[in-house]
Amino acid sequence: MKRVLTLAAAGVLSACGARPAVVPGSPGAAIYPETPRGEHLDLYHDVQVADPYRWLETDDEQTRRWIEAQNALAQPYLESIPARERIKNRLTQLWNYERQGLPAKYGGRYFFLHNDGSQNQSVLYVKETADAVPRVVLDPNTFSADATVALGEFVSSPDGRRVAYSLSDGGTDWRSWHVRDVESGQDLPDELRFIKFVPVVWTKDSRSMYYARYPQRIDGHEDDTRQREIFRHRLGETQNEDERIFVVTDHPTRNPFVQMSDDGRYLIIWLYDGSQSTGIYYFPLAEDGSPGDLVRLFDSFDADYRFVAEIDDVFYVYTTAHAPNARLIAVPAAGKRNKKGDPEQAPVSTEPLGVRVIVPEKKFAMAEVTIVGGRIIAQYLQEAHSLVQVLDLDGQPLYQVKLPGLGQAAGFAGDVQDPETFFIYTDFLTPASVIRLDAGSGRTQIVHTPRLEADMGQFVTEQVFYSSRDGTRVPMFITHRRDLQRDGQAPLMLYGYGGFGIPLQPEFSVPVLVWLEMGGVYAVANLRGGSEYGEAWHSAGTKLQKQNVFDDFISAAQWLIEKKYTSTPKLAIRGRSNGGLLVGAVLTQRPELFGAALPAVGVLDMLRYHTPNSNARQWSSDYGLSENAAEFAAQYAYSPVHNAHRTCYPPTLVTTADRDDRVVPWHSYKFAAALQYAQSCAKPILLRVETRAGHGTGKPVWMQIEDYADQWAFLVKSLEMN
């Protein structure tokens, strides 16, 4: 339980303790902007916690002036670094390569994204057949002068005649959905709003859509402090006319998503209340797409349950129930029904009758599974790289998909009756290639391979294993020049994430390639909290065990130094979002170990991360909640904002964006303020805040180039790179 003791109004905040500090190398030896420290105290479980920068959570004139002052300090410092322009030019040069997304097949047509290399946003194309000449359906580069209006998702109608697409304005996660006629290229009048993180699904007749949206406040704005609700939209009608068909009434934090079976006979409601607390309900649909009675298929919320496909009234479900590495089961459609749209009166069935195990749990974690052309395509994680197994519908192995190397394969979507599917392959030195798979024969065909003006042959990736603080064996990928001299003098960037069951697999990146060309070494540690070894690996880095993630990262740094890949003055750490938390936590725990730090869009105030919206509250499956005494104690011990202390921190560039509505930017504001106040030496602590940008999705290429040019230039200066 939390109780406010004192709240100092922003207008009477004192500048007491706003310690001025010189930033070396900045024009005029500028000092940090004045940052008033308030007297706000919170009480958590009889522990008084100071929050002197609570005022930075408010988007008012005082906060905006403070942000402007921080940018006015950081930007000249970064732009004055001689290497920045060279880095920016090389980023621009290398990013100018042709790239293509995975095709999605609807009504016999192929829809895909394509970028000719010079475009800030990829363009949506359609082809009538696999060999036909593609034509433009939608070009988001025309939507705004600065290319900050981005195409989010697209979903074609089953007949391929119309495509629903979403737009993000200025980096926000909020989407506005529109419908375009594929033949004419003209938009229909339909518009759907109040949607975030979820696509729409079409009914079989291509005349209506189901979608999940947040409620609307009285003032007309979206309200993401409440749960999503499911609506049906008929083409030609306004959103105000849409029928609400489902709302969660029996639990305060479960959020629904929608999926559609390939035959259009079932609307699937997937409910999320944490990565290991999900459920599956469904509505049988009439020929016109109207819903029947709701059925609760899985509602024990004791594991991860994901709808994979439905074939002949049998549901195929991915689950971690009784299987930390996951398995695939088959469940017949239930006959027990309830009153339409009333989940509270639906029969509860924690173990539906007739469950069959199709693909049992194996040694390696099953990351994803799809069913295409009557074949089960199971994607496994083998020591953090992809292994793809194809089986028949009884779970009998047929063949293993041949991959070009020990990298990442992703995709494999498609209709349960369509014999072809597509996937991408990538690794640290291979840009994503698009590959077609004949599900029946296992034959593969390259559809698109990018060409870059770079010599990839001078680099090599190796996988190593090291011991964490508690003896746990942790894998790590290291990419570097073939002629690397392990004398401890190489600048090295250590990257990590360690959360939400997200594995870090090999993946190509233009900025990483530029870093390698600069003589840098790039290391990716596969920390606990991810899913590289299944749910057990994930849960070992959550809640009361979150410190394991930080220990894994610190141990990776120590191993790299011990093996002379680098040394402390040459070692930079970087992470985004949950990875920003990672960097912030290890920076405050072991500041003497690192030569520079780049925490980006990080979750940095662990006691209040769940306050902005209901989406953030659901991160409690990994972080816990400060309302719980034991979880509060764990959070308070590592929360970066609360653990900045008087010491000499390495050069640190904190980056965020003013429109980030996933990890709200005040996390970074408060952390930067705390570090600047605590810094005891002349090494710079800078805050860079992007405008008209969000958490990262949809960011135009030009803005990404500016961002990476600043970060890499900061490292050149901080690590004293040649």
Token pair 């965020």 in the structure block, residue: 656
597-to-501, 572, 720 alpha-carbon distances in Å: 24, 6, 14
Q: What does residue 26 show for φ and ψ, rounded to 5 degrees?
A: -80, 155
> Which two structure tokens, joined as six digits, stand for 347?
């029969």
CA atoms within 13 A on the CB side of 608: 24
State the maximum Cα–Cα separation within the chain, in Å, rounded to a whole number: 76
What does the alpha-carbon distance between residue 118 and residue 54 come to, in Å, rounded to a whole number?
A: 43
> Which two structure tokens, joined as six digits, stand for 426?
């990538």
> Which two structure tokens, joined as six digits, stand for 7?
């709240």
Residue 331 CA, chain-centre distance (Å), reads: 31
Catalytic residue (one of 166, 208, 433, 577): 577
Q: In this structure, how many other beta carbons lie within 10 angstroms of the beta carbon of residue 561?
A: 17
Token pair 């499911």 in the structure block, residue: 230
β-pairing, 444-448 vs 459-467, is unpaired
Per DSSP, the three-state class of 365 is: strand
Q: Which of 499, 617, 603, 477 is nearest to 548 (CA)?
A: 499
> Which two structure tokens, joined as six digits, stand for 136?
């433009």
CB 459 within 8 A of CB 522: no
What one-letter code names the amino acid at 640?
A: P
CA atoms within 13 A on the CB side of 389: 17
Is 667 annotated as catalytic?
A: no
CB 602 within 8 A of CB 584: yes
Handedness of CA 358, 500, 532, 100 (dihedral sign): positive
> Which two structure tokens, joined as six digits, stand for 142?
């025309």
In terms of Cβ atoms closer than 10 Å to its own Cβ (0-12, 13-18, 19+), residue 518 is: middle
Is 695 annotated as catalytic?
A: yes
What does the alpha-carbon distance between residue 242 and residue 234 come to, in Å, rounded to a whole number?
A: 7
For residue 716, what is the enclosing H or E element?
Answer: helix 701-718
> Which two structure tokens, joined as six digits, stand for 314?
């049998």
Q: Which of 578, 501, 498, 499 is nearest to 304 (CA)?
A: 501
Instruction: Enter the DSSP assignment of 11.
Output: G
DSSP string, 559-577: HHHHTTS--GGGEEEEEET
What does the alpha-carbon distance between residue 415 and residue 607 come to, in Å, rounded to a whole number?
A: 44
Helix boundaries (H) for 195-352: none
CB 166 within 8 A of CB 175: yes
Token pair 């999320």 in the structure block, residue: 272
What does the alpha-carbon distance between residue 394 and residue 525 come to, in Å, rounded to a whole number?
A: 37
Q: What does residue 68 show for φ and ψ, rounded to 5 degrees?
A: -60, -40
Q: Across the beta sheet with 295-298, what order do the strands follow?
A: 255-260, 266-272, 278-284, 295-298
What does the alpha-carbon distance between residue 349 and residue 334 come to, in Å, rounded to a whole number?
A: 10
> Which two structure tokens, joined as six digits, stand for 180?
């375009």
Bridge partners of residue 237, in order along the sequence? none
Q: In this structure, how many other beta carbons lie within 10 angstroms of the beta carbon of residue 145?
A: 8
Question: Which residues does the annotation mark as catalytic?
Answer: 577, 695
